[in-house]
Homo-oligomer: A and B are copies of this chain.
Amino acid sequence: MPATEEEDAWVWNHIKAEAKRDAEAEPALASYLYSTILSHSSLDRSLSFHLGNKLCSSTLLSTLLYDLFLNAFSSDSNLRSAAIADLRAARERDPACVSYSHCLLNYKGFLSCQAHRVAHKLWTEARRPLALALSSRIADVFAVDIHPAAKIGKGILFDHATGVVVGETAVIGNNVSILHHVTLGGTGKVGGDRHPKIGDGVLIGAGATILGNVKIGEGAKIGAGSVVLIDVPPRTTAVGNPARLVGGKERPSKHEDVPGESMDHTSFISEWSDYII
């Protein structure tokens, strides 16, 4: 068994142990925990069951979606390893994430992202109407609107997630953390490559709007509520509406950490305040 598979197995076993403990402590939740986690033989099945039941509607039945998800997860091991990486990301970066199972069951950002990956797989297999229908369900149920063509890396944390919009030609790297109400939007009615490219390790604060085919460099940080219409160099911070680089356009300040992982939302306050006022 390769290292990754061992790791994946470790996480799944951990999830089952957590669910077991919680089911014993809380009978009112036991049925939920057994149906979503404890009755399943693998993370693939648990996720497929949970997503199928969350995303179904009267015209897209849970059995159809379950089948769709299970086929995708079974035939593409990248999907599972990405899910594991996302679980780890939530557990490590979000202090409110008290367990893997909490993320698996309750994080709409996590669930949206896993469902998106399946929609994206369908899109790349030229099953576009199905991919769009699935994305539409994610948008209805979780209020997370990611175009199925958008490319998303691993180790992603969509924290809170409500209101996230990611456009068709957007690309998101690995180990990125994106807060709620973040928009990676387009420039207008002309097609083609028109959405942001987010480098590895980027942190995008709540309510930030990034528009157009701009490049947010590796390890950059976008302040909450910013409106970004410019490229942001690696390891720099952009803040404000319109967003400007902290330290100035010419010689922006560089930070050492990987904000997508360190999740520091506010340490640039003083710097910023000084800069602006």
Instruction: Please determine whether A179 and B185 come into contact, CB atoms closer than 8 angstroms.
Output: yes
Of residues 110 through 153 on chain A, the ones whose CB sits less than 8 Å from some CB of chain B are 127-130, 132-133, 135-136, 139-143, 145, 147
- Please name all residues of chain B whose beta carbon is closer than 8 Å to the beta carbon of A266 when the two chains form the complex: 187-188, 211-212, 229
Instruction: Please determine whether B25 and A129 come into contact, CB atoms closer than 8 angstroms.
Output: yes
> Closest Cβ of chain B: how far from A187's Cβ, in Å?
5
Mask for A76-99, Cβ within 8 A of B = 1, else 0? 000000000000000011111010
> Closest Cβ of chain B: how far from A86's Cβ, in Å?
16
- Please name all residues of chain B whose beta carbon is closer than 8 Å to the beta carbon of A130 when the two chains form the complex: 26, 28-29
Instruction: Please determine whether B30 and A39 come into contact, CB atoms closer than 8 angstroms.
Output: yes
Instruction: Please determine whether B52 and A63 come into contact, CB atoms closer than 8 angstroms.
Output: yes
Residue of B at shortest CB range from A66?
B63
Q: Is A49 an interface residue (CB 8 A)?
A: yes
> Closest Cβ of chain B: how far from A238's Cβ, in Å?
12
Instruction: Please determine whether B32 and A263 come into contact, CB atoms closer than 8 angstroms.
Output: no
Instruction: Please determine whether A28 and B180 come into contact, CB atoms closer than 8 angstroms.
Output: no
> Closest Cβ of chain B: how far from A274's Cβ, in Å?
11
Q: Is A189 an interface residue (CB 8 A)?
A: yes
With A34-B23, A181-B207, A209-B207 given, is the CB distance from A54 to B57 under 8 Å?
Answer: yes
Q: Is A276 an interface residue (CB 8 A)?
A: yes
Instruction: Please determine whether A59 and B38 come into contact, CB atoms closer than 8 angstroms.
Output: no
From the candidates B64, B129, B160, name the one contacting A35 in the complex (CB within 8 A): B64
Most buried by B among A23, A25, A191, A242: A242
From the candidates B27, B106, B136, B188, name the one contacting A133 in the complex (CB within 8 A): B106
- Please name all residues of chain B whose beta carbon is closer than 8 Å to the beta carbon of A189 when the two chains form the complex: 92-95, 261-264
- Please name all residues of chain B whose beta carbon is closer than 8 Å to the beta carbon of A226 when the two chains form the complex: 225, 241
Q: Is A176 an interface residue (CB 8 A)?
A: no
Seen from chain A, the residues whose Cβ lies within 8 Å of a Cβ on chain B are 22-23, 25-36, 38-40, 45, 49-50, 52-54, 56-64, 66-68, 92-96, 98, 102, 105-108, 127-130, 132-133, 135-136, 139-143, 145, 147, 160, 162-163, 165, 167-168, 179-181, 183, 185-192, 194, 205-207, 209, 211-212, 223-227, 229-230, 239-242, 244, 261-267, 269, 272-273, 276-277
